[in-house]
Structure 1
C-alpha cells in the first residue's frame, strides 16, 4: 500500500477495472430491448417489503429509517449493538435490503448494522429523471454514510453492491474501515457464466416478466434448489412489477460507465476480503482473481457448493468468515 504507482500502472488498473463493461456493454446496448420511457415514468412501487419489515422488526430489533440524501429519499434498516463498529450492507441488482435478513441475526450482538436500499431499489426512491450510473450511485451512498453512519464502517457489498462498495472504498477511504466484496459484479474472470455470455446477445434474465422468469433468476442466483424454489414465488410479484425500472437501471449502468480518469477501486487501502460462492451462475467465480489483481492486498475466500448469495445460502458460515476478517 505504501508503494508509489506510475500513471501507466494506474491506467492499466483502470483498464482491468472496466474490462467487463468495455466487453459487454456495447453488445448488450445494441441488442437488448431498450427501456420504455413512458412505463418507467408511470411506474408505481407495489412492493410487499414494508409488511416484511414489520414482521421482521419484532425478531431482529432492526428499525426502519428514511432520509433525503442528495436527490433521493433513502430507506434503510438499522439496529444492533450501539457501541459496536458500524457495518454497512449493500445489496445487488434486482434486489433490496431484505436480502441480508438471514445474515443479520448473527451480526447484531457485536455490531451496529446499517442495511440500505440502494437508490432506485427497494423502498428507496426511484426517479426517472436522474442518472443511475455507478459513479452516481457511489456518490449517493457516500453522502448517506457521511450523514447517517457514525465513523468508519465495515462495508460489505454483494453483486452490484460489491462493485459500488469497491468504488466507494477507492474514492472515499475515510468512510471504509474494511471492505468485503461478496460475489461482486464487474470483474472479468478467466471464464464466464451462461448469463454473462447471454448479455452479449442482449439476453438478461434479471429482467423478470413472469413467475417462470422468477424461477429462472432464483436458480441462477442460488445453488441450493430448495431455497431457490421457495424464494421464486415470494420474489416474483416485486420483480415483475419492477421489470421496466430494472431494465432502465441495467441500461444506466452500461450507458453511464465509471469515469476512467478518477480514483478507482485500485486506490482501495482498507483491508479487503473477496468472498465468492463457486457455484455462482450469474458472475463467474474466477472474477475473484481479477478483483485481487486490482486490489493486491485482498484475500480471497471461495465457498464450495454455494451460489451468488452466500448470505442467503450459508448465513452462519458467512457471518463467521466476516467476524474472523474483522477481528484479524
Structure 2
C-alpha cells in the first residue's frame, strides 16, 4: 500500500500553518514529520564512536528483509522518504544521515573519502545491529554502497545504485562547470538551492515555498562541510581503485539511471554494469539524477521485480 503524502495535503497543511502565523521552521518541521509518518517512518539518533548519527526507521517493524538507504552528496535521509513509502509495508527501512550531512554530526577534521564513508556505514550498521540487508545508494551514496558491497559481501543481500558516482568515463555538464570554478551542488547564497534543484532533477516534486526556504538556509549553512567533503572525494583520485574494487561485489546489483542526469552522465551506467559481475542496468526516460525522488513508485517497482527475478 502506498503511503506517500498527497500534494493536496501538503498544500492544506502549509496554508493552515501560514494562516496561524507559524514560523517557516515550524512549517518545515511539521510537513517533514507528516511526510515521514505517511511513509511509515520515524526519526531517531544513535551515537557511533564520537559521532551522533540521525536516521529514519520503520515506525513499526515488519516481518521482512531490511533495506539500508544511503543518500548522495549534500543530501540527507529525507531524500528516501517518497521511495520508502512504497516499501515499508514489506521491508524494514533504515535511511541514514551520513556524517557531515543532514542532522548528523558535521566535523571538518575526519576523513570523507568514499572509502572512509563506507567504513562509517559499516560502523553505523553494526551499532544498529543491522545484519544482512539490501543496500541502496544515490550518487555519492551509490559509490559508497558499491564499495560497502565489495568490502562486506557477507552483509549484503543486494545492492541498488541510483545514478552512482565513482566512474566518470563519460563526462557531464557538472564536470564542465566544476572545471570552470562553478559548483552548482554547493549552494552559497540565496537562489543557489533552487538552481541546484533545477540542475539535479528533471522531474521536480512539488515543494511549498516556506519549506524550500528552510531547505535553502540549511544547505547554505552546510557550505563549509560540503566543500570539505567534495574536495576529499575529488582529490582522492579514486576512479582506478574504485573500478577494481567493484569487480569484487558478489551480491546481485541493480543500477537505475535517469537519462536526463546532468550531474553524472547516464552512459557511465554501462561501465558500472560491465565491471560488476552480477549487475543489471535500467535506464529511466525523463528522469534526472535522483530517480527515487523523481519517480519513487517506478523505482520501487524496479526493485521488487529485481528481487523476484535475481535474489529470491
Provide the rounded CA distance (Å) in 2 between the counterparts of 1:219 and 1:61. 28
Query: Partner residue of 1:165?
Result: 145
1:250 to 230, 242, 246: 230
- Deviation digits for residues 27-68 of structure 1 (CA, Å, limit 9, x no counterpart): xxxxxxxxxxxxxxxxxxx99976555333442332222112
Query: Partner residue of 2:189?
Result: 210
TM-score, length-normalised on structure 1? 0.79
TM-score, length-normalised on structure 2? 0.83
Q: Secondary structure at the match of 2:85?
A: helix
Query: Partner residue of 1:196?
Result: 175
Provide the rounded CA distance (Å) in 1 between the counterparts of 2:185 and 2:242. 30
2:103 is the counterpart of 1:123: yes
Q: CA RMSD in A?
A: 2.6
CA contact (8 A) 1:132 1:256 kept: no
Provide the rounded CA distance (Å) in 2 between the counterparts of 1:137 and 1:225. 28
Query: Partner residue of 1:142?
Result: 122
Q: Note the C-alpha offset of 1:185.
A: 1.2
Q: Note the C-alpha offset of 1:173.
A: 0.8
Query: Which one has more relative contact order, counting CA pairs under 8 Å at least 6 apart?
Result: 1
Rate the CA distance shift 1:270–1:49 in 2: closer, same or farther, 3 A.
Answer: farther
Provide the rounded CA distance (Å) in 2 between the counterparts of 1:218 and 1:205. 9
- Deviation digits for residues 89-126 of structure 1 (CA, Å, limit 9, x no counterpart): 11001110001111111001110000100111001111
- Deviation digits for residues 145-200 of structure 1 (CA, Å, limit 9, x no counterpart): 1231433111010010000000000011111110110011122243x221122222
Provide the rounded CA distance (Å) in 2 between the counterparts of 1:234 and 1:122. 13
- Counterparts of 1:50-199 in structure 2, within 5 Å, are 52-79=31-58, 81-190=61-170, 192-199=171-178
CA contact (8 A) 1:195 1:282 kept: yes
Unaligned runs of 5+ in 1: 1-45
Provide the rounded CA distance (Å) in 1 between the counterparts of 2:206 and 2:31. 18
CA contact (8 A) 2:150 2:245 kept: yes
Unaligned runs of 5+ in 2: 1-24
